[in-house]
Amino acid sequence: MPAETHVEGVPIGRDEVLELIRDRLADILENIEPSEIGEGDSFADDLDADSLALIELVEALEEELSERSAGFRIEDDDLEDLKTVRDAVDYVVSRLG
């Protein structure tokens, strides 16, 4: 693959994906620290993240991960299945496969 569309590197692990999601969520939500975000937390019920916050999270993840995996994308149809932080981590890890 051409260098501009694929970045070689160490594969990203589950723990790193979790940290990335926590960091981006904390940036977006502003009133919470990454360490306060648990894997079992519901975006809506526990973190009070609205649909706009989730769209911002998806955009941040796509931007960050497209540097590691060419063309990384979270499909719009899959968004409704991502209810918790764990759902998002599992989804990203499976997509990076």
Would you call 45 a catalytic residue per the annotation?
no
CATH superfamily of 12-96: ACP-like (1.10.1200.10)
The Cα–Cα gap between 54 and 50 comes to: 6
Does the pLDDT of residue 7 top 80, yes or no?
no
Which residues make Cβ contacts (< 8 Å) with residue 28, sequence separation at least 6? 49, 53, 56, 57, 60
Instruction: Provide the residue ranges of all domains of the chain, joining segments of one domain with +.
Output: 12-96
Q: Rounded to a whole number, what is the distance in angstroms from the first to the last CA of the chain?
A: 18
pLDDT digits (tens, 9 = 90+) for 16-50: 999 999 999 999 999 999 999 999 999 999 999 99
Candidates 27, 45, 48, 50; catalytic one:
50
- pTM (2 d.p.): 0.86
pLDDT digits (tens, 9 = 90+) for 51-95: 999 999 999 999 999 887 888 999 989 998 999 999 999 999 999
CB 43 within 8 A of CB 84: yes
